[in-house]
Amino acid sequence: MVNQEVLIKDRWRGLKKTSKFLVITLGILGILALFFSVGYFLNKQPVVNQQKVVLENPIKNIVFANANVDGVIDKQKVIEQATLEFNQKYIDYILLALGVNTLYKSAIGYGNPKVEFAIDDEIWSSEIIKGGLNTIKNSIDDPDIRFHMPKKEIIEFLLAQDPNQFVIDSVSSGRTQIELIAGKPELVSKGYLGMYTSLTGKEPAL
């Protein structure tokens, strides 16, 4: 009888230890999941706040200089002069029209979004960093995505009454081509798939 009571007590102690271990383990896992969720949603916030990044059309002065008293613009002269004065501001302006304000830093370690442009015989790149755009006239290490487009197309975009729709039409017509370079996990973790779909009307074949 005594042995039976001792056996029952031992079993009860073992069950209590197992239950305590499970409760502690589940608690730790719950805390880790909470931290991961908070980190994920914080990192998923767009890197560029479009309300804070206000860009002036970089060819505004060129347009004014080539308009007559009736407001009629000599488009050919604008294109010629804008081509000669082409600079980083042109790239920054079109980046926002392409939708980089919807991108975000990867929450799984891939870093900031990196976009590259092949424009005629020039390469331009931009890293989308917190609070702005770091654009250079050069290639960039490990770009996520590359846009192929003529310089004239970018200037036409700057002249368009509806720049966002112009970009969508340019992509759908093939004048602008999108090359996805990074793998699907990285593209998804930075928000590119939503941007790609909004520009093309379809999901990428990855």
Tens digit of pLDDT for each residue in 103-156? 999 999 999 999 999 999 999 999 999 878 999 999 999 999 999 999 999 999
pLDDT for the residue numbered 42: 36
Q: Which residue has the higher pLDDT, 91 or 15?
A: 91
CA atoms of 103 and 50, how far apart (whole Å): 11
Instruction: Dump pLDDT digits (tens) for 57-104.
Output: 999 999 999 988 888 889 999 999 999 999 999 999 999 888 898 999
CA distances from 167 to 5, 58, 97, 155, 157 (A): 81, 17, 7, 12, 7
User: Residue 4: its pLDDT value, please?
Assistant: 52
Architecture of domain 60-200: 2-Layer Sandwich (3.30)
pLDDT for 47 equals 53
- Name the pLDDT band for 163 (thresholds 50, 70, 90): confident
Provide the pLDDT for residue 20.
55
- pLDDT category of residue 12 using cuts at 50, 70 and 90: very low
Domain residue ranges in the chain: 1-43, 60-200
pTM for this model (two decimals): 0.73
Which of these ranges, 7-21, 78-92, 158-172, 184-198, has the smallest mean pLDDT? 7-21
Residue-wise pLDDT for 19-48, tens only, equals: 554 545 454 444 334 333 333 433 445 555
